[in-house]
Structure formats: structure tokens, C-alpha cells
């Protein structure tokens, strides 16, 4: 398993966000790989995962940008085991040199890449294939009263979602995501990380 830093939309390394590249063993029967190994991952980032999540989405579904504020912020290790997604992490740490910068990467069942998103970031993804299944580990349980959402198309973030890959579909969002706050509202309300 390798870990590589990713460049943000402004060309900076987002401190802590990593592309995880597993070692995949393939032969005529199929493949095998360790999707997570505590001993190996602790060398990348010492963390304690306490929950596994699994979602299924259809083409055009956009989930996010979700995060949890203190005292229950979540780190996430995300992978797509069926189909394709465009996965995004946004830095919400106000004292960071990369505050409000984002990174996006395609995760899919072929490349088997994972994205490590530490605490202090918002997370979202857009489903690019007819069906996608996403599995992710979290460092904290879901806590409804501390969950926050930033609107996916916030003009202050300028995330370059690959909408052109949806064959004319518009993104499909939940009511929660449609009514999400802007980054300016989150700043005003103190829903960012110091």
C-alpha cells in the first residue's frame, strides 16, 4: 500500500489528504488486495476507525459536501467497489494554508484507489456510472446534531464537478444537500474548524 499527496485546485498539497494505492495481486482467477491493514495504515496516519459505511447510488447522484464539527469530527477512508465516482475533499480548517481549497479524484472498481480524508474536511462525491457502491471507514460515529453540509456548487469553492460525464443529466441531490449552507454561512455560524 502506497500513500501519495494530492494537489488541490490551486496546486497546493492538502495537508493530510492522501491517495491510497493498494498492492493488487491479479491472475486468471481475478484479484486480491488488502483494502485496509491497521499496521500498514498506522504508518500513514495513526487513527482508530470505529464505523464502516456502505452506500449505493445511481448515475448523477451527488452526495455532500458533508462533515461533522467538533467534538465529533470524522476522518474517512473512502473507496468505490462498484462503478465510478468523482470524490471530493474540501479543507475547512480556517488556520490552514489551504483553507477552502479542494481536491477531486476518480475512485472506481478498476483503479481500486482510496482517498484518506482527515478530520477538518468536508466530503462529497458524484456518481459517474449507472450504479456505484461506496464503502468508507470513519473515525467517529455519525452524530446528527453535529453534521453539517456545504452546498455542492458554492461559488466561493468553485469545485469542478465533472457534470459533463453525466450524459445530459443534472445532479440528483437529497433535500438536505439541496438546502445546504454556503461556506460563508458556515463561517458566520462558526461551523468550520480552527
Give the catalytic positions in this structure: 66, 136
| Residues 96, 82: Cα–Cα separation, whole Å | 34
Residue whose grid cell is 494530492: 6
Say if CB 150 and CB 183 are below 8 A apart. Answer: yes
Q: Is 166 exposed, middle or buried (0-12, 13-18, 19+ CB in 10 A)?
A: middle
- 4 to 91, 126, 131, 179: CA distances (angstroms): 17, 22, 28, 34
Provide the greatest CA pair distance for the chain.
Answer: 56
What is residue 173's three-state secondary structure? coil
Cell triple for 130: 449507472
Rg (CA), the chain: 16
DSSP string of 113-138?
-EEEE-TTEEEEEEE-SSEEEEEEEE
Amino acid at each position: 500500500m502506497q500513500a501519495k499527496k494530492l494537489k488541490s485546485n490551486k496546486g497546493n498539497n492538502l495537508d493530510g489528504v492522501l491517495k491510497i494505492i493498494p498492492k493488487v495481486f491479479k491472475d486468471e482467477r481475478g484479484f486480491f488486495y488488502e483494502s485496509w491493514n491497521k499496521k500498514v495504515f498506522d504508518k500513514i496516519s495513526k487513527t482508530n476507525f470505529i464505523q464502516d459505511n456502505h452506500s449505493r447510488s445511481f448515475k448523477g447522484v451527488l452526495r455532500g459536501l458533508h462533515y461533522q464539527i467538533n467534538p465529533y469530527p470524522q476522518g474517512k477512508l473512502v473507496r468505490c467497489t462498484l462503478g465510478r465516482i468523482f470524490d471530493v475533499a474540501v479543507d475547512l480548517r480556517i488556520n490552514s494554508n489551504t483553507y477552502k481549497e479542494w481536491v477531486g479524484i476518480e475512485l472506481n472498481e478498476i483503479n481500486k484507489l482510496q482517498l484518506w480524508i482527515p478530520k477538518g474536511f468536508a466530503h462529497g462525491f458524484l456518481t459517474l456510472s449507472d450504479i456505484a457502491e461506496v464503502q468508507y471507514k470513519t473515525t467517529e460515529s455519525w452524530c446528527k446534531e453535529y453534521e453539517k453540509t456545504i452546498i455542492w456548487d458554492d461559488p466561493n469553492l468553485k469545485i469542478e464537478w465533472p457534470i459533463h460525464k453525466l450524459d445530459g443529466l443534472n445532479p440528483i441531490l437529497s433535500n438536505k444537500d439541496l438546502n445546504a449552507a454556503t461556506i460563508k454561512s458556515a463561517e458566520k455560524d462558526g461551523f468550520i474548524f480552527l
